[in-house]
Chain A
Amino acid sequence: MSTDLRPRPQAPAPHKLSETPNPSGAHSDRAFRYLALGGGLVVFVVLALIAWSTTKEAWPAFTSEGISFVTSTTWDPAHGKFGALALIYGTFVTSAIALVFAVPVSFGIALFVTEVAPGWVRRPVVYVVDLLATIPSVVFGLWGIAVLGRAVPGFYENVASFFAPIPVVGTLLSGDPISGASFMTAGLILALMIIPIVTSIAREVFATVPSEQKEAAYGLGATRWEMIRGAMFPYARSGLVAGTMIGLGRALGETIAVALVVGANARVTPKLFSNGNTMAAIIANEFGEATGTHRAALIGLGVLLFVITIVIGIFARWIVSRSAHDVSTGAVR
Chain B
Amino acid sequence: MKTSRGRLRASSLVVTAVALALVAAACGSSSSKSKGSSATTGASSSLPSATLNGSGSTFQQPYDQAAIQAFTQQHPGVTINYAGGGSGKGQTDLQGKLVDFAGTDALPKPADLPKYTGGALLYFPFVAAPITVSYNVSGLDKLQLSADTIAKIFERQIKTWNDPAIKADNPGVSLPSTSITVVHRSDSSGTTNNFTTYLKKAAPTVWTLGADKTVNWPSDTQAGNGNPGVANAVKATNGAIGYIDYSDAKASGLKFASVKNAAGKFVAPSLDATSAALQTATINPDLSYDPINAPGDASYAITSPTWIMVSKNQTDHAKGTVLKAFLTFVLSSDGQNLAATADFAKLPSNMLSKAQAQLNQIVVP
Contacts and interface: CB of A to CB of B under 8 A. Distances in A.
Interface of A: 74-79, 145, 150, 176-177, 179, 181, 259-260, 263-267, 274-275, 284-292, 294-295
Nearest to A265: B219
Interface in B189-237: 189-190, 196, 209-217, 219-223, 225, 236
A79 B214 CA distance: 10
Interface in B79-93: 85-89, 91-92
Contacts of A181: 222-223
A264 B186 contact: yes
B196 A289 contact: no
A311 B109 CA distance: 38
Contact of A179 (B91, B196, B211, B222): B222
B188 interface: yes
B316 interface: no
Given A76-B216, A265-B217, A289 B186 contact: no
Between A78, A79, A294, A295, the greatest number of chain B beta carbons within 10 A of the residue's beta carbon is seen for A78
Given A78-B196, A264-B186, A285-B225, 16 more contacts: A76-B215, A76-B216, A77-B188, A77-B212, A78-B211, A78-B214, A263-B186, A263-B222, A275-B222, A285-B187, A286-B214, A287-B188, A288-B89, A290-B88, A290-B188, A291-B88
Task: Classify chain B's interface size.
Answer: 20 to 34
Interface string B102-119: 000000110110000000
A179 B220 CA distance: 9
Contacts of A275: 219, 222-223
B196 to A, nearest CB: 7
A289 B189 CA distance: 6
Given A264-B186, A285-B225, A294-B214, A78 B209 contact: yes
Given A77-B214, A78-B209, A150-B236, A289 B219 contact: no
Nearest to B211: A78
B219 A295 contact: no
Contacts of A260: 225
Nearest to A180: B222
A214 to B, nearest CB: 41
Contact of B223 (A265, A267, A287): A265
Contacts of A150: 236
Interface in B148-181: none
A295 B85 CA distance: 14
A292 B112 contact: yes
Contacts of B111: 292
Given A75-B216, A78-B211, A260-B225, A285 B186 contact: yes
Between A74, A176, A267, A275, the greatest number of chain B beta carbons within 10 A of the residue's beta carbon is seen for A275
Nearest to A176: B219
29 contacts: A74-B216, A76-B215, A77-B188, A77-B213, A77-B215, A78-B196, A79-B216, A176-B220, A259-B186, A263-B186, A264-B187, A265-B219, A274-B219, A285-B188, A286-B187, A286-B188, A286-B213, A287-B88, A287-B188, A288-B88, A288-B187, A289-B88, A289-B187, A289-B214, A291-B91, A292-B109, A294-B188, A295-B88, A295-B92
